[in-house]
A = this chain, B = another copy of it.
Amino acid sequence: MNFDLPLFILILDLFGTVVFAAAGVLAAAQRRLDLFGVIVVGTVTAIGGGTLRDLILGRLPVFWVQDNLYIWITVTTSVLVFASARRLRFPHQAIQIADAIGLAVFTIIGANVALSLGHSPLIAVVTGVMTGVFGGIVRDVLTAVKPMIFEKEIYATAVFAGAFVYVNLTWFLPDHWETFNTLVAMSVVLGLRLAAIRWHLHLPVFLSVEDQRDEDHKINRKDSQ
């Protein structure tokens, strides 16, 4: 067990590991991998964020080397989803929703770990964001799809908002509100992501002067990927 984490956070961490591994396996479906390739993608997606977190904070060896449980979970989840996905029909949005849940969990845990090591609120926000998004970025780069963080819908914004809320609640509320803080902050990430997926919400995007002129002339630039 990763005894640095309080029990409630630990349970969330294991839960996030399951859903992120599942998101990785479902994404791997698009690349037609065999069982062991699927285990690699599921595992890397699930442990990628926490591994980056431990590296930048200097908590070495990384969490899953210290605690075998995480790898057992990612391998078991990968095998089960691999087996069931051949029979059951997963809706396309299953990946997005699993990703949203894992994102919410890992962002808050990343911020929590940074704060518990005595780092500043700013560093906690950045560490939270990196922990949350890294697994999904690696998954998307490996499976050669456009990373979700670069889709038009709100993504990085949801992660920043959740980490920001968590760090502020932790700063202003007494310690024993920790569980409350965690649930509220996770709800912010998850709520924003689910709403963004459902209604295709997005913020104003980066448009240079040239782009805006193109937009005015209704010329749709083809995406260059």
Bound-state CA distance A159–B30 (Å) is 22
Bound-state CA distance A144–B123 (Å) is 27
**A194-225: which residues lie under 8 A (CB-CB) from chain B?**
202-212, 224-225
A85 interface residue (CB < 8 Å to B): yes
Chain B contacts for A87, CB-based, 8 A: 209
Contact of A36 among B35, B145, B147, B160 (CB under 8 A): B160
A111 interface residue (CB < 8 Å to B): no
List the number of copies, as a whole number: 3
Known pairs A156-B40, A205-B34; A224 contacts B145 (CB<8 A): yes
Bound-state CA distance A23–B206 (Å) is 14
Known pairs A60-B60, A87-B209, A147-B142; A68 contacts B30 (CB<8 A): no
Quick check: A212 and B60 within 8 Å, CB to CB? no
Quick check: B146 and A33 within 8 Å, CB to CB? no
Quick check: A71 and B122 within 8 Å, CB to CB? yes
Contact of A209 among B89, B119, B206 (CB under 8 A): B89
Quick check: A203 and B157 within 8 Å, CB to CB? no
Residue of B nearest to A153 (CB): B34
Quick check: A224 and B126 within 8 Å, CB to CB? no
Chain B contacts for A57, CB-based, 8 A: 60-61, 65
Quick check: A150 and B31 within 8 Å, CB to CB? yes
Bound-state CA distance A38–B149 (Å) is 10
Chain B contacts for A35, CB-based, 8 A: 157, 203-204, 206
Bound-state CA distance A206–B35 (Å) is 7
Contact of A204 among B34, B145, B212 (CB under 8 A): B34
Residue of B nearest to A150 (CB): B31
Encode contact with B along A1-41: 1 for CB under 8 Å, 0 otherwise.
Answer: 00000000000000000000000010011111111111110
Beyond the given A37-B150, A55-B60, please list 18 additional residue pairs across the A-B interface where CB-CB is below 8 A. Answer: A29-B211, A32-B211, A33-B156, A34-B154, A34-B204, A34-B206, A36-B159, A36-B160, A37-B149, A40-B149, A55-B56, A56-B65, A57-B60, A61-B119, A64-B126, A71-B126, A89-B208, A137-B142
